[in-house]
Amino acid sequence: MTLHDTRGLAVSTRSQSALDRFDAAVELLNGYYLDFIAVIDEALEEDPGFVMGHCFKAGVYATCNEAAVQPDLRRSVEAAEALSAGANDRERAHMAAARAWMEGDLERAAALYGRIVQEHPRDILALQIGHQTDFFLGESRMLRDRVAQVLPHWDEGVPGFGHVLGMHAFGLEQNNLYDRAEEAGRRALALNQRDPWAIHAVAHVMEMQGRVSEGVEWLESRKAQWADNNAFSFHNWWHLALYHLERGETDRVLALYDAQVRPNPASMALELVDASAMLWRLHLRGVDVGDRWRNVADSWERTAADGYYAFNDAHAMMAFVGDGRDDAAERALAAQEAAAQRGRGTGAMMAREVGVPVCRALLAFGRGDYRTAADLLYTVRTRAHRFGGSHAQRDLIDLTLVEAAIRGGNAPLAQALVAERTDLKPSSPANRTLTARAVGMASGRTGAGRLGSVLFQDCAIVEG
């Protein structure tokens, strides 16, 4: 007798108990709630030959997207492949997709997970891993369209439909379809309040539209749905801190950073990225962050700056520059330069197109060579999506570019950049402050360093 999961997909196991645990693990993973690995391990204890259990683990380790988990990814892929003779075609397709990721070909992994989803549109595990692959590749269109392809096959009667809508909401937001994104996110939450990804998608909408007070209220009022026992909570805390930073509330930002964004010296790259990104934003504003850089830089030296993924290495570079670690910064740049020479793989492309110039720019910025930093960042900013991340995350490149232009005395560039930022988000207090600084350059009223810091911190503009 062939068993089927809760969405009607055939699975190669004779253990209903193992299958029940698999379904439970998928539900936890869809919401990024903790213990999904422990639950899938229970399924594999029930049935060590449960192919989808190994494919599940391979997908989880793949989407960590860092070198440290490569041994775990390889073990899971090889364990699944050892069972391929008794697997069905869909399960073998999962193996092939995970192996492509393991071998560093993210484009092929995305295509293979996408093919699974096209042939089996209710395979929510393949959909979620494919969605994350698109994110790491910076494929905004596919963040939307991969989910849109399966929507006709889902409705409220299919378990997990809310999570599918949450993924669609994020894809819509990344394509600047803000009204539709918010509608999809709110509908997802009406079906399932415990969906941090849908909450996150709507938070992105409010961030991009400059709806700061609404964004704070949105996240604060839903903490019970995203903040407890969740592997994704650090990122939603980061978004909350970002709203407070927009309002110039740096004390609140530092408090959130210490208590929630980085409450312990975790070394997972996904968490370190948010830590670096927040401290760098504060660094650009001239805010004293105490010894916080040291802790983050220590973790990056243990974890990354290895040329594995350019997006991570760029954030490691921020920490090394912020903490004044010239040797570590030079090693991080050398790792990206070496990665760029490794051929035609995804990592090489990302390093070549984005990672190397961004790391060079950050190092130049840290050394006070603002003109070089501005030249490099201006050239790379329109292709920065190629090393992944969201619009909100990659905005750090543009913020650094604006600050480099101001500190480097390039008034025409600074004024052009703040004009485009203000056109996109006219209600932004931070954009208004940057505009005042850039416009003041012509008459010598403002410039680099301490004066810019004072203007940022003393800005009393609120949402209008």
Q: 210 to each of 247, 333, 347, 426, how far by Cα in Å?
A: 11, 34, 33, 8
pLDDT of residue 145: 98
Task: Name the average pLDDT for the chain.
Answer: 93
Predicted TM-score of the model (pTM)? 0.93
Place of tokens 């949105």: 218
Give yes or no for residue 278 having a pLDDT over 60.
yes
146-160, 250-264, 294-308: least confident range: 294-308
Which two tokens mark 331?
Answer: 């090693």
pLDDT of residue 267: 74
pLDDT band at 307; cut points 50, 70, 90: confident
The CATH code that applies to domain 1-138 is: 1.25.40
Chain centre to alpha carbon of residue 401: 21
Give yes or no for residue 33 having a pLDDT over 60.
yes
CA torsion sign for 312, 236, 199, 212 is negative
How large is the average pLDDT for residues 262-284? 92
pLDDT of residue 302: 80
How large is the average pLDDT for residues 44-51? 97
Give yes or no for residue 453 having a pLDDT over 50.
no
Q: 390 to each of 175, 204, 274, 385, 404, how far by Cα in Å?
A: 10, 9, 12, 8, 22
Give yes or no for residue 63 having a pLDDT over 90.
yes
Rounded CA-CA distance 246/415 in Å is: 20
How large is the average pLDDT for residues 362-382? 97
Give yes or no for residue 243 having a pLDDT over 60.
yes
Percentage above 90 pLDDT, the chain: 89
Give yes or no for residue 181 having a pLDDT over 80.
yes
At 308-336, the pLDDT tens digits run 899 999 999 999 999 999 999 999 999 99
One-letter-per-residue 3-state SS of 296-352: HHHHHHHHCCCCCCHHHHHHHHHHHHHCCCHHHHHHHHHHHHHHHCCCCCHHHHHHH
Rg value, the chain, Cα: 22
Q: 12 to each of 86, 92, 119, 298, how far by Cα in Å?
A: 7, 11, 18, 44
Give yes or no for residue 410 having a pLDDT over 80.
yes
How large is the average pLDDT for residues 153-166? 98
Give yes or no for residue 257 having a pLDDT over 60.
yes
pLDDT of residue 444: 58
Give yes or no for residue 445 having a pLDDT over 60.
no
CB 314 within 8 A of CB 272: no
pLDDT of residue 378: 98
pLDDT band at 220; cut points 50, 70, 90: very high
Rounded CA-CA distance 239/401 in Å is: 21
pLDDT band at 7; cut points 50, 70, 90: very high
Give yes or no for residue 183 having a pLDDT over 60.
yes
**3-class secondary structure, 241:** helix
Give yes or no for residue 214 having a pLDDT over 80.
yes
Alpha helix segments (H runs only) across 103-177: 106-119, 124-137, 140-148, 161-174
Give yes or no for residue 256 having a pLDDT over 90.
yes
Of 187 and 344, the one with more pLDDT: 187
72-76, 158-162, 337-341, 452-456: least confident range: 452-456
141-230 fold: 1.25.40
CB 345 within 8 A of CB 375: no
